[in-house]
Structure 1
């Protein structure tokens, strides 16, 4: 055998051994789209395209139910950087979407603009930075109303039941506070790990807040404003850093990525789902969305995007972004939260809960370590969460259901929603600020004799008086 064929032979053997080393067990749900995952598990599946008022094309997935047991359709909305896949990844035994379908509900799974399934626009290319010029405000103001109207028109119903997880709750509150007429279209809203106030967040993301502006600029430079989209590179990183066959790497992935972001839960979190989870997540969003959350952490408010004083005046006619008026959110709402949630801290959850007028109740998960993504992927999610959610939804589906509101918890209403410093106030404040600065400068100068060393002499005064007299006499004679 010559040298060259020997080289080819040994190279081929080495290459095959390498492939065998990294060979992974085939996991269908990791490579299939959401509609195909649903079909693989024996459920009917549909995909619908919804056009928003500002031109984004959203792909919404549906698990239709031909039994017609229940009246109200159910709309499930995912969290930040996620997609409709979150509601089906755990399979029929644990996923809320399948279980609701088993109960006879017509289930719809939303997808926010910019994620894996909604990266289209009627006129703007996703490679254009204008496509990514949105935050969670636009998702709540445009995406949710478009999706709700489509579902109600398609099913010929007047109301639906809304379930949101994480940012899926945040955008709901944005919608109902800015478009109060949509409250009437909601039979009941269920908030899983509610997000609006985030000032007490413990997640590793909190440490990135001081660098949010720089991250936003880098994202604009590298990806035109897209943030963590699902692509070939991310899939390879997920596979070999968190893959099921890379035991050590998977442990590091759980410890330093999952647990630091969402909360440490080595018992209930189903780590065996990691290959599937990371095959679909992150699904991508805009850097501006993450920037908006960073502003919320800094301000401590639930408010619209802050463009800076000058741009705020142009956009809002205010020096600061308007605070969302949560007293407008009158749809019946039920909360589910946990103590070990690094993103949705119990203090922030309670602040949000007390600012809503029509609350059905708040349920603390009966497990100390339950974290932010356990709401989707816990081993015992049925016993800890799903059964309670399904029971409350079945009650709300009854034709003569009467909401029993929580009157025991204090209702915290404030008039801060209506306070706005417009451009006229800003001009007055700016003038006062300028005057105060000028007063400080002049008083400082007066204290420093070296700044005014000129002393008038008698000769100077005589010349000055003579000049004034001559000018007066000349004008009088004229």
Structure 2
């Protein structure tokens, strides 16, 4: 029994990082063959937009969405001045649409565009809008395509995207905004590839998950002890892409009885996810390995690289255990926004990270009930978070 429950743990953890009311959502079961039409949404909301494809060093083809002008401006009537660039990355199971869900006047991407910023929004590998590869077919080469953790996003997706944006815009630096896993990827990038500290003028991390020494949910912490065994079991069952075709087929065909506790538990997980989001149609897709990496860190109370086995770790890392990410190497001007009502990130862990990072400050959201997901879905986020971000960015000259 304890073997299957940690899968509930890591699924629930990732699920709480999602926007809960994403429009243009897809029908469950078609998730692997469709994508969120972000351009259509932006046009409907009155914004000119562009979609670009960035190919990573290992062949993943990522969609990134751009809002270069204010609302109702076009190429013909927009002010022809150089604008500072802001890049935004979503959380686990989110997508670029996370930053426009609240609509004009409330969504962070729209607010920044109206303030005169050149806004870019990323879609990490594996999500609906970036479910492509130069040689791999995600429907056929499932295990290889979805062999993904947040480290791949930080060390491969972000460098490719940042370099592409800077080259296209002619800028030497950009501003970074990351929610949840988007914050994790930033921490990985700038600790593992510290040269990117010189390419980012500032970063605002919205509940950016890193340290897990004080993970706030004690029950989930206990369950996470068995993360590795349950991850192995999930792979054996073909559960590699969360809400992909194998996941959907397995759960739709499964039957629950006294002899298959694991199958019963997976059916319960599906029900839990449905309860969390009111619908299963809002999910943007992810790899089970991404969830498991967070589960490993919750178990080890650390922020470290993927755990294989002692022998494989020794071969890959030169040590029996994975090395921790050295976030002290991050020199970017960082603001870490957090809330005391966060079930995935503890206040003390945020404070401890800020102590290690030389140019980092913390900022507690001034609403006690503000949650991990509220950073991208709460209507009062403009007053509580976004206005501060705009004010801080306006102080830079890029």
TM interval, shorter chain, is 0.7 to 0.9
Kept in 1, the 8 Å contact 2:239–2:247? The answer is: no
Match of residue 89, structure 1, among 82, 101, 107:
101
Match of 1:280 in 2: 282
* Contact residue 230 and residue 284 of structure 1 kept, 8 A: no
Cα 1:254–1:95 shift into 2, 3 Å:
farther
Name the count of aligned residue pairs.
337
Which of 49, 55, 69 does residue 45 from structure 1 map onto? 49
Residue 132 of structure 1 corresponds to 146
Q: Give the direction of change, closer, same or farther, for the CA distance of 1:96–1:179 in structure 2 (3 Å limit).
A: same
Distance 1:68 1:306, change over 3 A: farther
Q: How does 1:289-300 map to 2 (within 5 A)?
A: 289-300=290-301
Q: For 1:169-188, what aligned pairs fall within 5 Å after superposition?
A: 169-188=183-202
In the aligned structure 1, how far is the partner of 2:57 from the partner of 2:304? 22
- 3-state DSSP class of the match of 1:183? helix
CA contact 1:295–1:306 (8 Å) conserved in 2: yes
Q: Please give the alpha-carbon distance, in whole angstroms, between the structure 2 residues aligned to 1:347 and 1:81.
A: 25
Q: Report the CA distance between 1:179 and its aligned residue.
A: 0.6
Q: Which residue in 2 is equivalent to 1:156?
A: 170
Q: Is the 8 A contact 2:215 2:301 kept in 1?
A: no
Establish whether residue 73 from structure 1 lines up as the match of residue 85 from structure 2.
yes
User: Residue 149 of structure 2 contacts residue 287 of structure 2 at CA under 8 Å; is this kept in 1?
Assistant: yes
Distance 1:62 1:214, change over 3 A: same
Q: How do residues 299-338 of structure 1 correspond to structure 2 at under 5 angstroms?
A: 299-338=300-339
Cα displacement string for residues 106-145 of structure 1 (whole angstroms, at most 9, x for unaligned residues): 1111111111111111112213211111211111000000
Whole-Å Cα distance in 1 between the matches of residues 215 and 39 of structure 2? 34
CA drift at 1:373: 0.8
Hey, what does 1:372 align to over in structure 2?
A: 372
Shift, 1:88, TM fit: 0.9
Write out per-residue CA displacement over residues 298-325 of structure 1, whole angstroms, 9 at most, x where no aligned residue. Answer: 1112111111110011111222211111
Unaligned runs of 5+ in 1: 1-26, 238-251, 259-273, 400-478
Instruction: Please state whether the residue corresponding to 1:182 is helix, strand or coil.
Output: helix
TM-score where L is the length of structure 2: 0.78
Tell me the distance in 2 between the aligned counterparts of 1:28 and 1:120. 22
Matched, 1:200 2:214: yes
Partner of 1:64: 68
Structure-1 residue corresponding to 2:243: 228
Q: Quick check: 1:349 aligned with 2:353?
A: no
CA displacement at 1:355 relative to structure 2: 1.3
SS in 1 for 2:129: coil
When residues 208 and 119 of structure 1 are mapped into structure 2, their CA distance, relative to the original with a 3 A threshold, is farther
Note the 1:357-368 alignment, pairs <5 A: 357-359=358-360, 361-368=361-368
Contact 1:70–1:104, Cα closer than 8 Å, also in 2: no
**How far is the alpha carbon of 1:380 from its aligned partner?**
1.1
SS at match of 1:158: coil
Q: CA deviation at 1:327?
A: 1.6
Which residue does 2:113 correspond to in 1?
Answer: 101
TM-aligned CA deviation for residue 349 of structure 1: 1.1
Alignment of 1:165 onto 2:147: no
Partner SS for 1:313: helix
Deviation at 1:232, TM superposition (A): 11
- Tell me the SS of whatever aligns to 1:194: coil
1:201, 1:344 within 8 Å by CA — same for their partners in 2? Answer: yes
Q: 1:242-257 alignment to 2 at 5 Å?
A: 257=276
Deviations 1:350-391 (A, max 9, x none): 1211110112x3211111100001111112111111111111
1:45 to partner: Cα distance? 1.4
Instruction: Report the Cα distance in structure 2 between the residues aligned to 1:294 and 1:28, rounded to whole angstroms.
Output: 29
Query: Distance in 2 between the 1:324 and 1:103 partners?
Result: 35
More helix by share: 1
Give 1:222 deviation, angstroms: 4.0
Distance verdict in 2 for CA 1:33–1:137, change over 3 Å = same
C-alpha separation between the residues in 2 aligned to 1:82 and 1:342? 18
- Measured against aligned partners, the alpha-carbon deviations of 1:239-293 in whole angstroms (never above 9, x if no partner) come to xxxxxxxxxxxxx9899626xxxxxxxxxxxxxxx67xx6432x11111111111
Larger radius of gyration: 1
1:106-121 paired onto structure 2 within 5 Å: 106-121=118-133
- Contact 1:116 1:230 (8 Å CA) reproduced: no
For residues 84 and 255 of structure 1, do their structure 2 counterparts lie closer, same or farther at Cα, with a shift above 3 Å needed? Answer: closer
Render the CA deviation track for 1:125-182: whole Å, top value 9, x for unaligned: 2132111112111110000000000100111111000000011011111001111110
CA displacement, residues 66-111 of structure 1 (integer Å, 9 cap, x when unaligned): 4355632110001111111111111112110011000111111111
- Give the deviation of 1:43 after TM superposition: 0.3
SS in 1 for 2:130: coil
